[in-house]
Structure 1
Amino acid sequence: MPDLWMPGAIRADVGDHAPCDTQYPAKAIAHITWDRNATAAKPQTLVPFTNLEAYFTGGGVGMAPHILWDPFSGQFAQFYPADSRSKSVVDLAGGTRTNRAGRVVIQIEALFFPYCKAPDGKVYAQLDDTPCKGWQQLQDWVTSWGVPQAWPMGHPTDFSPHRNEHVWETEGGWYGHSQVPENTHVDPGSWPAFIAPAKPPQKPVYEPFPGTSFFTTGRKSPIIAAMHARLVAVGCNHYASPANANVWGPGDERSYAAWQRKLGYTSTGADGIPGPASWSKLHVPNV
């Protein structure tokens, strides 16, 4: 099961958990806190994260989302577990239960308002212009709950409302507050694009040279076994026995010296102790 509480987020559980309507597809709702009204001519200072955290656990508990996200610092606070409804959108009696209409309905409030002056001294007109620190972690956690990386009513690009109750009830994915039925808010105005998961680093085809000091009598390693097999394959088999192929010993030294001589090394250059140049040419498979 995915994590009920987002890893790394401040856990500020406000209680009052309630189930979602799981017959609907999984959703996330994107908000901005919009706690001050500013303009390009008169920007205002961003409200501190701790102020909003205190608000959602105090006087504003009745409007608390699941997640408060600071896109400038990458901080998070979480007020409800993922499988509970939260309370950040209007939910009228008799209609679709907006706060619950999904296997999960994860609501995120980004700490932002248009033309806020951030701690870095810059003024930001749109959320997606901010550093968006922590967005990858937030996106991945929401996705782990089965929320598709899609905007069924379009990726928000302005403060215009676009609402369709049928789409809301039948399609999973991300919705702006401006797209939720029964609501009149027009935020978030913009939202960062989805980020592809980071690709794991590719494993090298050949084993990197482990260093001269690695090759000491009695060293046991799958690297030595792989080297043993390669020395046999290139016709440098001076082993007395195939036993203990993964342990460095006299047979390895004799066989590696033969490989060095095959490469043209002489005298101390063919002492049977691997060096980086001869090792790279042996093409020992990565283990």
Structure 2
Amino acid sequence: MTVPAFEEYVPAIDCPCPGCAAQRRSAAGGLPTRHGGNPAAHGARRVMVLFTTAGVVLSAGVLESAGAVADPAPVPGTGALTGLAGPLPDSPQGGPGPLRGPGSGVQGAPAADTAAPVLRPTTRADIINRAKKWVTAQVPYSMEKYWSDGYRQDCSGYVSMAWNLAGNEWTGSLATYGTRIAREDLQPGDILLFHNLADPAKGSHVTIFGGWTDYTHTYYTAYEQTKPHARKQTTPLAYWTNSGSYVAYRYKGLTSGNGGSEATPAPFPGAAEFGPGANNANVTRLGTMLVARGGKRFYKVGPDPVWTDADRQATRAFQEAQGWKGAEADGIPGPDTWELLVTGTGHDIPAASGQNGPAGVPAFPGRGYFRPGQSNTHVDRLGKQLVKKGYGTYYLSGPDPRWTEADRRNVEAFQKAQGWRGTEADGYPGPETWRRLFA
């Protein structure tokens, strides 16, 4: 299996700045001919090419557990294949730029700085469909050319196109359009991004996550722009090289397709809205979200607009469930607490010791147990109850302690039977799904 080659947009060849001049001087020698280089043809441009010997068997070190959120500081030139392929050649990285097309101006001109990224609403289906268009058209890889839709034909231009961004971004700016997520939470349309901050010219790359291809979640379908053209291919998590340094992101402008947002549907209203003396609709909304995440026991009445100690206790319990301590778990919601609540991510409030739900329903253990890569007794118990209730259609074997796509689809079927749609029927059990399933 051959490691692909990719490169990014570079500054104009006649740019007079010292950095570009230094890059042109160091590129003058070009790559060795045996590695595909042609000094006379390349001139002042440097190309990054990744090589591997044909037929090399990928070592186990390439693969990572899908449940791990492994994001160590990037180490230039490292990766599972470094010892086999040698150090990675340099490749300059360019900054953001506008869309390009007939009459659009000078190619490569920088985009105007903005205070915040412009987010165009889109859905997961739209992202994947746009990604497929380039694959079907076999759009050639180029760090200088632009496709008919105006997007640059390199890896970051490809993601800019799929996310429907207003311009061409690069690996150093794409993260501003996304929310960082755990790898175990990856869904189609999310991206895996490696931007080598120490030296962006070495190894930086980005792929679009298309879905898991095996039950162990060590391989996924990657949509990417690479030489010779855009492709869709089964890829080890997170990538062939620098695997441990890829970070998962979800587009901030993502919608569910029915007007509901899957990312950040409402901005944080501000800390002044919460705390002693507060009386407003945001307090009610906070309490409602906390109850949905396992905080019902803290409220004897409510939630309602008046801030009470129940709101503080429930908020603190949710913060502590994330592993936060001290000032990070003071019972007053901040931007991070709010984002986890409105996006339905993070860990739920665990049940009190010895607490069971109504009518003998076992306490909901928390959403974190039911995610790709998880293996525990709660998954096994859930699966057996689904079968008991007549929702085991998708099990070809099992159920067992490992969370699989079959579990998700069976849960989804049960949720839809309750009349739920959209994000309420995403196949991941919450407290209400759990209560109804075991009632």
Q: Give the shorter-chain TM-score range.
A: under 0.3
Return the structure number with greater helix share: 2
Bigger Rg over Cα: 1
Q: TM-score, normalised by structure 2?
A: 0.18
| TM-score of the aligned structures, taking structure 1 as reference length | 0.27
Higher relative contact order (CA 8 A, sep 6+): 1
